[in-house]
Amino acid sequence: MSLAKTPRKSSALVIFNPKEETTNMDYEVLLLKRKANMSFPNVLAFPGGVLEKKDADLLKFIKETQKPTSPFEEKRFLISRITALRETFEETGLFFINPRDFGSNKTKI
């Protein structure tokens, strides 16, 4: 009897920030501790998760309202990005935006 499972499509986001107090290449990296009742319990992991139908639905909306910004924005890649960003928001509350979407008065975020 095989215990192997079919992998599910998923995506994660690696978030790092240069430390301000050093001039070296030191970075802080965001890792989350998974809950004891989840798969891979108590493991440190990057925010992310499994692709959901709403990720593909959002892709349809984006394609209807925006032009692709690069040749690399194929369906599979875009859905992975959407999944990683959605999961990061759900798990951490961090919401990433593009400052270009807010006109010429750009604020550093």
Higher pLDDT, 3 or 95: 95
Q: Which residues 6+ apart lie within 8 Å of 48 measured at CB?
A: 10, 11, 12, 13, 83, 84, 87, 88
Assigned domain for 47 exists: yes
Assigned domain for 57 exists: yes
Containing structural domain, residue 56 = 10-95
Assigned domain for 108 exists: no
Assigned domain for 66 exists: yes
Assigned domain for 107 exists: no
Assigned domain for 102 exists: no
Q: Domain total for the chain? A: 1
Assigned domain for 41 exists: yes
Residues 19-76 pLDDT 10s: 877 667 788 899 999 999 988 899 999 999 999 989 888 877 776 666 656 665 677 7
Is pTM beyond 0.85 here?
A: no
Assigned domain for 63 exists: yes
Contact yes or no for 48/34 (Cβ under 8 A): no
43: domain CATH number is: 3.90.79.10
